[in-house]
Amino acid sequence: MQPSSFLLASFLVVLSVTSGTSAQACSAQGKNVTATGFVMDNYCIDLGKLMDNPTVKTLEGPEVHSIHCLVDLKPCVDSLYTLLAPPENGSKLYTGQYFN
């Protein structure tokens, strides 16, 4: 595994653990829930564009969101994270699926 892949895998494991504790407040309490999607920090979502790639609209291009933004930039880390669900019904925008 390359270092960047290891960092991503480690981050997703940490996110999985933290989202598991926050998921207890949802209606699926006591049940296992599997969700997939892009991880986005709330700072970039509120900003409307990626902090380290400002030509990309946050909810249109989460696939180019960098690990650097997620784990190194203080405003992004401090804002916590959202798991984005894919666009539906012909929309181009991803939507928040689970919030932390």
Q: Closest Cα to residue 69, out of 58, 60, 100, 94?
A: 58
Successive 10-residue mean pLDDT values, the chain, 100 residues: 44 44 53 85 95 94 93 94 92 83
Cα 8 to Cα 47, 58, 82, 90, distances in angstroms? 23, 19, 16, 30
Count of structural domains within the chain: 1
pLDDT of residue 44: 95
Q: What is the domain range of residue 66? A: 3-99
CA gap 8, 3 in Å, rounded? 9
CA gap 27, 32 in Å, rounded? 11
